Amino acid sequence: MDEFDVVIVGAGPAGATAAYLLAKAGLSVVVIERGQEPGSKNVSGGLIYAQIYDEIYPNFWEEAPVERAIAGHSIVFLGDTAVTAMGYRDEATAPPYNAFSVLRARFDPWLAAQAEEAGAMVMPGFTVDELVMEDGRVTGVKAGGDELPAKVVVIAEGTRSQLLKQAGLREDYDPKDVSIGIKEVIQLPEQTITDRFQCLTADEGAAYTLVGHTAGAEGGGFIYTNRDTLSLGVVVKIDSVYKSKRHPHEILDEFKSHPFVARLINGGEVVEYSAQTVHRGGFHLIPKMVGDGYVVAGSAARLLLNNVMTLRGMDVAVASAAAAAQAIIEAKEKDDFSAAGLASYERHFQATSVYKDMQTFKNAYPLLENKRLFHVYPDMVCDIMDDMFSVRAQPAKKGYRALRDRMKEHDVSLWELAKDMVQIGKGIAI
């Protein structure tokens, strides 16, 4: 078998998109995917932000198996029994859409099919066991009992990326930088979902980000509407899961037992359960994205935008893959696949709107460490709301009085609150 220009490890959004763009540019490309089918091994909330996909796959929603166009986003603080929510909805969702819910088991095969149509060879059912190295340079991969040489290897194997570490090309992770995502797909009749989430039609959907009620672990939850299922899950810091001594599944159960969540999923049947690690995100975690004979794209490069309100991995993955593809095309023209020849990857990536968003929210990451945000404020906010809306025998309080009393009750000092407000402000507001 002749040498390929490019071997891509993993047919997730990053791998499939790199394959698509490279094959379209006439390079010979093979994608090796561990799952029996692309998407069969992927865990994701499944909310994709459409902008970058639309650039690469124009009007993809007309053809791709998307579930619902997201018309409403809400952030919900889960108190003990109460909730405080802030919602946004666009009553006239229309192209170009902002976001879609997708089921990866259906969406990833579609992406892979685009790559195949463009001329790439997609090989599901095979795991890349190791990178082949010669003099510190990646020259191919070993998979399925064979060695496959390539001019350049695109490492797009997702978070659990072992290949780079094995080859001595990156350090091990620090567990404090890793979260675990636990997710269920819950089946409900299409109409029930449409009604319960106040969607206008079955083509329209809603996304909830939820904070609080995660059994003592730092993180948040999500509920996204698919056509006749809900994607529901929590993403919590792994070290706090260890500390809580709870099984990840129990954290999900606790989350599901909150009355607000329970009502949304009432009557539904769990048809799928899965768990996977996610990086916490942040620039300082991004490893070297380019080396001799290889590039790293998507969440294998720990690329993720997490600002508490949104978790963006799939559009970041695609943006990085497009930048990597462009760099490889240029390297091919120069016939130089060394680190220097591929160096334009980082530059192209930095020019993307996705990267700019990552920069905008670069100060949001400390928020993910803030215990009060996850364990105190959701309840406290609900209590204050309770003070505002409830009529009781005791005299009512104005906002500030209520706040101070509730702070005392929840053991939050003014200094702490001020510090947290600055953190929130810097992270996501100003």
Ligand X SMILES: Cc1cc2nc3c(=O)[nH]c(=O)nc-3n(C[C@H](O)[C@H](O)[C@H](O)COP(=O)(O)OP(=O)(O)OC[C@H]3O[C@@H](n4cnc5c(N)ncnc54)[C@H](O)[C@@H]3O)c2cc1C
Torsion of CA 421, 423, 427, 428, to 10 degrees: -10
**Choice between 129 and 409, CB closer to other proteins:** 129
Q: For other proteins, which residue of 87, 95, 144, 425 counts as binding (CB under 8 A)? A: 144
Query: Contact between 94 and other proteins (CB under 8 A)?
Result: no
Query: Contact between 395 and other proteins (CB under 8 A)?
Result: no
Is the bond preceding residue 96 a cis peptide, omega within 30 degrees? yes
Q: What's the distance, CA 169 to chain centroid? A: 24
The minimum distance between CB 119 and other proteins, in angstroms, equals 12
The partner in contact with residue 15, picked from ligand X, other proteins, none with C-beta cut-offs of 5 to 8 angstroms by kind, is ligand X
Nearest to 220 by CA among 368, 82, 80, 48: 368
Count how many Cα atoms sit within 13 Å of the Cα of residue 323 in the half-sphere of its side chain: 26
**Choice between 121 and 417, CB closer to other proteins:** 121
Report how far apart the first and last C-alpha atoms of the chain are (Å, whole number): 56
Q: For other proteins, which residue of 9, 18, 32, 102 counts as binding (CB under 8 A)? A: 32
Query: Contact between 148 and other proteins (CB under 8 A)?
Result: yes
The partner in contact with residue 271, picked from ligand X, other proteins, none with C-beta cut-offs of 5 to 8 angstroms by kind, is other proteins
Count how many Cα atoms sit within 13 Å of the Cα of residue 267 in the half-sphere of its side chain: 9
**Choice between 28 and 51, CB closer to other proteins:** 28
**Choice between 31 and 382, CB closer to ligand X:** 31
The minimum distance between CB 81 and ligand X, in angstroms, equals 26
**Choice between 125 and 175, CB closer to other proteins:** 125
Provide the 3-class DSSP secondary structure of residue 413: coil
The partner in contact with residue 8, picked from other proteins, ligand X, none with C-beta cut-offs of 5 to 8 angstroms by kind, is none
The minimum distance between CB 28 and ligand X, in angstroms, equals 19
The partner in contact with residue 1, picked from other proteins, ligand X, none with C-beta cut-offs of 5 to 8 angstroms by kind, is other proteins
Query: Contact between 202 and other proteins (CB under 8 A)?
Result: no
**Which span (49-57, 140-148, 166-174, 360-368) binds other proteins, by CB under 8 A?**
140-148
The minimum distance between CB 30 and other proteins, in angstroms, equals 7
Neighbour tally for 151: CB within 10 Å: 21
User: Which residues, in sequence order, are CB contacts of 83 under 8 Å at separation 6+?
Assistant: 76, 77, 260, 382
Query: Contact between 3 and other proteins (CB under 8 A)?
Result: no
The pair of three-digit structure tokens given for residue 147, joined into one six-digit string = 């060695």
Query: Contact between 271 and other proteins (CB under 8 A)?
Result: yes
Query: Contact between 146 and other proteins (CB under 8 A)?
Result: yes
The partner in contact with residue 7, picked from other proteins, ligand X, none with C-beta cut-offs of 5 to 8 angstroms by kind, is none
Determine phi and psi for 409, rounding to 5 degrees: -60, -40
Q: For other proteins, which residue of 9, 14, 19, 30 counts as binding (CB under 8 A)? A: 30
CA distance 111 to 107: 6
Count how many Cα atoms sit within 13 Å of the Cα of residue 400 in the half-sphere of its side chain: 1
The minimum distance between CB 211 and ligand X, in angstroms, equals 15
The minimum distance between CB 269 and other proteins, in angstroms, equals 9
The partner in contact with residue 123, picked from ligand X, other proteins, none with C-beta cut-offs of 5 to 8 angstroms by kind, is other proteins
Instruction: Give the footprint of ligand X on this chain (CB under 6 A).
Output: 9-15, 32-35, 41-48, 127-128, 156-158, 181, 183, 233, 235, 276, 278, 298-300, 304, 311-315, 317
Binding to other proteins, residues 99-138 (CB under 8 A): 121, 123, 125-126
Helix pair angle (104-117, 13-24), 10° resolution: 20
Q: Where are the beta strands (DSSP E) in 80-218?
A: 83-89, 99-102, 121-124, 128-134, 137-143, 146-155, 178-187, 204-211
Neighbour tally for 266: CB within 10 Å: 10
Nearest to 15 by CA among 135, 108, 142: 108
Contact 238, 178 (CB under 8 A): yes
The partner in contact with residue 178, picked from other proteins, ligand X, none with C-beta cut-offs of 5 to 8 angstroms by kind, is none
**Choice between 179 and 370, CB closer to ligand X:** 179
Q: Where are the beta strands (DSSP E) in 212-330?
A: 219-225, 229-237, 269-279, 290-291, 294-296, 305-306, 311-312
The minimum distance between CB 48 and ligand X, in angstroms, equals 6
Query: Contact between 189 and other proteins (CB under 8 A)?
Result: no
Nearest to 14 by CA among 175, 178, 156: 156
Query: Contact between 145 and other proteins (CB under 8 A)?
Result: yes
Residues lying near other proteins in the complex (CB under 8 A): 1, 30, 32, 36, 121, 123, 125-126, 143-146, 148, 271
